């Protein structure tokens, strides 16, 4: 449940692949980068859409923009302009319909890897 109404989408729209055109290879490629995986894990942990600006990645702004674009063009996330903000959300339902369990197993794998690294760093 959202606590406040979202601003409506502005006219500018971004291209997204139709669900049936989402390719497994592209999804896996999109998820194969540490920064993009981090973005996806953050989005997975949030009910609401997230603005690009909340992601504090250790890369340049243009690289960040590139990563979001790869995620959108592969069908992993949707992006929509609301006011001046570009808002991001996982395309969970589409991915689940196409590839049941895939996103969940990748997110779980990312969690396990992060936990393993944390243990190793101690």
The footprint of its own copies (CB under 8 A) covers: 20, 23-26, 28-29, 31-34, 37, 98-102, 104-106, 108-110, 112-113, 116
CB of 51 to its own copies, least distance (A): 25
The interaxial angle of helices 102-121 and 34-44, nearest 10 deg, is: 110
Q: How far apart are CA 56 and CA 29, in angstroms?
A: 22
82-107 in b/e burial notation, b at 16+ Cβ within 10 A? eeebbbbebbeebbeebbeeebeebb
CB of 27 to its own copies, least distance (A): 8
CB of 50 to its own copies, least distance (A): 21
Q: Which is nearer to its own copies, 82 or 92 (CB)?
A: 92
Q: Which is nearer to its own copies, 36 or 86 (CB)?
A: 36
Q: How far apart are CA 60 and CA 23, in angstroms?
A: 28
Q: Which is nearer to its own copies, 55 or 99 (CB)?
A: 99
CB of 99 to its own copies, least distance (A): 4
């Amino acid at each position: 449940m959202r606590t406040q109404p979202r601003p409506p989408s502005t006219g500018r729209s971004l291209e997204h692949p139709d669900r049936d055109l989402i390719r497994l290879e592209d999804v896996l490629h999109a998820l194969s980068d540490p920064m993009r995986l981090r973005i996806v894990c953050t989005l997975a942990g949030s009910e609401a859409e997230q603005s690009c600006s909340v992601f504090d990645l250790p890369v340049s702004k243009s690289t960040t923009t590139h990563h979001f674009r790869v995620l959108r063009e592969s069908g992993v996330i949707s992006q929509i302009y609301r006011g001046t903000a570009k808002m991001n959300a996982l395309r969970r339902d589409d991915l689940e319909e196409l590839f049941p369990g895939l996103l969940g197993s990748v997110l779980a794998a990312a969690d396990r890897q992060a936990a393993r690294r944390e243990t190793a760093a101690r």
